[in-house]
């Protein structure tokens, strides 16, 4: 813009110089009077002033138009930048929302999976505990029955063995004496029974009576 104004001023100055120098050349050919030269200079000066004024107005108009164009361009660029920022902000917001939703869904799925796994493990542990309890109960019952049966059989066998020893047919003096000594009878009773047994061991009829006394004393 400044260059344009400079060009216009230079053109005007050249025109003035031409108009001023032209009369001087004419003077050399044909001298002029002083009264004729002054009006000519004034006319040229006025013409130059008009040219400069018009050039200034033109330059001003061009500058104003250029300013308007620049302002419109800046406004358009600002609007475009604003729209771009808003679009980018919306895109980022949408991306963040989607990421948060995805993470939330993933966490919920993980929690549900863990809950199902815990429930499954709890059910399995409960079933295993119930099964183990039932098995232990059955084993305990079986062991109790076995022990009871064996104890009963042993007691029965012991009783039968004692009864055999306390019969005339299965009598064994030494074992009967051990039986009496190992019983819970008092010492006096034990001594009386052993004395009677010692007296009857060689007398079958008397032995039967003494053996019956011993069985009665032992609760057999």
pLDDT tens by residue, 188-207: 999 999 999 999 988 988 99
Where residue 164 falls among pLDDT bands split at 50, 70, 90?
very high
Q: Give the pLDDT confidence of 87-100 residue by residue, as tens digits.
A: 756 874 786 478 54
The pTM for the full model equals 0.30
How many other CB atoms are there within 10 angstroms of residue 185's CB atom? 16
Q: What are the pLDDT digits (tens) for 55-69?
A: 678 767 876 875 686
CA distance 113 to 119: 10
Q: Going by C-beta distance under 8 Å and a sequence separation of 6 or more, which residues neighbour residue 51?
A: 8, 11, 12, 15
Going from N- to C-terminal start, the domains of the chain cover 1-70, 92-159, 166-218
Q: What is the pLDDT of residue 172?
A: 93
pLDDT over 90 at 177, yes or no: yes
Which of 37, 11, 12 is closest to 24 using CA atoms? 37
pLDDT number for residue 22:
54
Tell me what pLDDT residue 85 has: 47
């Amino acid at each position: 813009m400044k260059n344009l104004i400079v060009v216009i001023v230079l053109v005007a100055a050249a025109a003035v110089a031409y108009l001023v120098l032209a009369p001087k050349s004419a003077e050399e050919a044909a001298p002029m009077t002083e009264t004729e030269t002054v009006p000519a200079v004034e006319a040229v000066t006025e013409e130059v002033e008009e040219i400069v004024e018009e050039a200034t107005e033109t330059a001003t108009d061009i500058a104003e138009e250029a300013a308007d164009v620049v302002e419109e361009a800046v406004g358009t660029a600002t609007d475009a930048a604003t729209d771009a920022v808003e679009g980018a902000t919306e895109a980022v917001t949408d991306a963040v929302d989607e990421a948060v939703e995805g993470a939330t869904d993933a966490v919920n799925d993980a929690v549900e999976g863990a809950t199902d796994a815990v429930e499954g493990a709890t059910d399995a542990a409960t079933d295993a505990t119930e099964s183990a309890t039932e098995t232990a109960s059955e084993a305990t019952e079986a062991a109790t029955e076995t022990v009871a049966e064996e104890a009963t059989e042993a007691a029965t066998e012991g009783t039968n063995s004692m009864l055999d020893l306390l019969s005339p047919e299965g009598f064994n003096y030494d074992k009967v004496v051990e039986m009496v000594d190992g019983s819970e009878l008092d010492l006096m009773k034990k001594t009386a029974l052993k004395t009677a047994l010692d007296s009857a061991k060689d007398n079958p009829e008397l032995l039967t009576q003494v053996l019956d006394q011993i069985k009665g004393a032992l609760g057999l």
